[in-house]
């Protein structure tokens, strides 16, 4: 449980942030505050504007509208200061594959003019368990090691805010878990982390979440808050001939999602009454129906469906 902090302790505090490319609005009037020391999850389908929003936070892009601060610096005018105190890990590995791990870290350390550079590089290698590989070319590393290197590189200047854009895409479960343990250690030391992901298990490891679709922020809060606000009703059903049952359920009023999970179907809808009526129409004793708590994924899919109607 995070104790409420005064407003001055916000690492990110922006309002009405908007970005347009040509006549396409990629990020539309987003308000967001993230407390210092918080791990904030940023979710949303591909192309929802997550990367663009992050680029505005770290000073790579200037918002077309909106105001706000990142680490107390104005996101429109103090981009240089922001860059000095933010660590940004891009979606794609973006260090030099033809440099060794040490050379990459050394290069980044020089760009930030870190005092006692050698020691800083050494510390960073050590913390991420990269010492024995320091002379290996970055291009020869596996996905998991590349990700570690990228994390080490964006931490080398001791940033106060870490912006991670899908850092665990294509990384195996064990490496993902280690990565998240490291993120939690860093947050415990006071680092603020904003992280985008498509994995629900990762979303649940964040202190708070926000869900973005078509450039609009659709939900925010803790996992429990997001699920509660969505007011989604979900049933599971087991029994014979599930594909046929699924086909009969789809398209009925009140049924928003019918998803197969192995030998179970998840059936969700925004209106409990309508959903109950739809289920009653197909319900037979052959199947076992149970009402369950909606999962984060059910909620997000439902939000996305709603957003499609409203904004696309």
Partner 1 sequence: MSGFAFHRLWAVVLKEFIQMRRDRATCGMMIGIPLLQLTLCGFASNSDPKHLSTAIRSADQGPFARTLVAALRHSGYFNLDHEAATEAETQRLLQLGEVQFVINIPEDFSRKLARGEQPTVLLEADATDPAATGPALSALNALSATVFNRDLTGPLAGRRARSGPVNFSIHAHYNPENITQYNVVPGLMGVVLTMTMVVITALAITRERERGTMENLLATPVRPFEVMVGKILPYIIVGYVQVTLILLAAHFFFDVPMLGSLPLLYAVALLFIAANLAMGITFSTLAKNQLQATQMATFFFLPSILLSGFMFPFRGMPEWAQWLGSCLPNTHFLRIVRGILLKGNGLAEITPEIWPILIFLAIVMTIAVKRYRQTLD
Near partner 1 in 40-59, by CB under 8 A: 58-59
Q: Is 275 in the site for partner 1 (CB under 8 A)?
A: no
Structure tokens at 190: 């006071």
- Cβ proximity to partner 1: between 10 and 154 the closer is 154
- CA dist., res. 191 & res. 155, Å (int): 10
Exactly one of 24, 92, 132, 174 binds partner 1 (CB under 8 A); that residue is: 92
Q: Give residues with Cβ within 8 angstroms of 282, minimum separation 6.
A: 245, 248, 249, 252
- Taking CB under 8 A as the binding criterion, the range among 25-33, 105-113, 257-265, 272-280 that sits at the site for partner 1 is 105-113
How far apart are CB 289 and partner 1 at their closest, in Å? 49
CA distances from 221 to 97, 145, 203, 307 (A): 39, 32, 11, 18
Residue 146 and residue 167: Cα distance in Å, rounded? 10
C-alpha 112: how far from its chain's center? Answer: 27
Only segment of 60-68, 216-224, 226-234, 239-247 that touches partner 1 (CB under 8 A)? 60-68
For residue 212, the minimal CB distance to partner 1 (Å) is 20
What is the closest distance, in whole angstroms, from the C-beta atom of residue 83 to partner 1 in the complex?
5
The one among 20, 36, 103, 112 contacting partner 1 by CB under 8 A: 112
Select from 89-97, 204-212, 221-229, 234-242 the region that touches partner 1 (CB under 8 A): 89-97
Nearer to partner 1 by C-beta: 110 or 135?
A: 110
For partner 1, the binding residue among 24, 80, 132, 174 (CB under 8 A) is 80
Counting contacts by CB under 8 A, is residue 62 touching partner 1? yes
Element housing 40 (H / E)? strand 39-43
- Spatial CA neighbour of 94 closest among 137, 175, 150: 150
Nearest Cα neighbor of 104 from 60, 144, 136 is 136
- Tell whether residue 121 is a contact of partner 1 (CB under 8 A): no
Q: Which of 20, 96, 221, 248 binds partner 1 (CB under 8 A)?
A: 96
In the bound state with partner 1, the residue whose beta carbon lies nearer, of 158 and 224, is 158
Judged by CB under 8 A, how many residues of this single chain contact partner 1?
20
Residue with tokens 């200047």: 157
CB of 143 to partner 1, least distance (A): 15
Q: Could you tell me the smallest distance in angstroms from the CB atom of residue 94 to partner 1?
A: 4
Minimal distance, residue 105 CB to partner 1, in Å: 13
- Pick the closer one to partner 1 by CB: 106 or 256: 106
Cα distance between residue 14 and residue 220, in whole Å: 14
Identity of the residue, 61 or 194, whose beta carbon is nearer to partner 1 in the bound complex: 61
Tell me how far apart the alpha carbons of residues 218 and 221 are, in angstroms, rounded to a whole number: 11
- Whether residue 166 contacts residue 42, with contact meaning beta carbons closer than 8 Å, is answered with no
Query: Across the beta sheet with 161-165, what order do the strands follow?
Result: 86-89, 161-165, 192-196, 39-43, 208-213, 216-221
Under rule CB under 8 A, residue 231 binds partner 1: no
Residue 24, interface with partner 1 (CB under 8 A)? no
Structure tokens at 181: 């343990």
Residue pair 191/159 in contact by the 8 Å Cβ criterion:
yes
Q: Which residue ranges make up the site for partner 1 (CB under 8 A)?
A: 58-62, 80, 83-84, 86, 88, 90, 92-97, 108, 111-112
């Amino acid at each position: 449980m995070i104790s409420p902090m005064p407003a001055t302790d916000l690492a990110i505090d922006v309002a009405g942030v908007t970005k347009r490319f040509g006549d396409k609005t990629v990020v539309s009037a987003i308000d967001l505050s993230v407390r210092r020391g918080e791990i904030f999850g940023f979710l949303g389908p591909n192309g929802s504007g997550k990367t663009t929003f992050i680029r505005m936070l770290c000073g790579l892009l200037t918002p077309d509208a909106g105001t706000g601060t990142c680490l107390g610096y104005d996101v429109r005018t103090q981009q240089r200061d922001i860059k000095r105190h933010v660590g940004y890990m891009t979606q794609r590995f973006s260090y030099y594959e033809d440099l060794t791990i040490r050379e990459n870290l050394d290069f980044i350390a020089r760009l930030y003019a870190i005092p006692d550079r050698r020691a800083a590089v050494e510390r960073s290698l050590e913390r991420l368990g990269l010492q024995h590989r320091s002379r290996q070319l970055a291009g020869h590393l596996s996905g998991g090691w590349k990700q570690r290197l990228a994390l080490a590189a964006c931490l080398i200047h001791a940033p106060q805010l870490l912006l991670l854009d899908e850092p665990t895409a294509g990384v195996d479960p064990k490496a993902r878990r280690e990565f998240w343990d490291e993120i939690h250690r860093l947050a415990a030391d006071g680092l603020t982390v904003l992280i985008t992901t498509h994995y629900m298990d990762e979303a649940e490891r964040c202190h708070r979440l926000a869900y973005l679709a078509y450039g609009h922020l659709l939900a925010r809060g803790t996992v429990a808050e997001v699920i509660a606000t969505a007011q989604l009703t979900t049933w599971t059903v087991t029994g014979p001939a599930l594909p046929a049952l699924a086909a009969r359920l789809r398209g009925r009023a009140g049924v928003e999602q019918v998803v197969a999970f192995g030998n179970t179907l998840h059936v969700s809808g925004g209106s409990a009454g309508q959903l109950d009526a739809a289920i009653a129409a197909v319900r037979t004793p052959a199947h076992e129906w149970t009402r369950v708590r909606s999962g984060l994924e059910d909620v997000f899919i439902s939000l996305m469906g709603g957003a499609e109607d409203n904004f696309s």
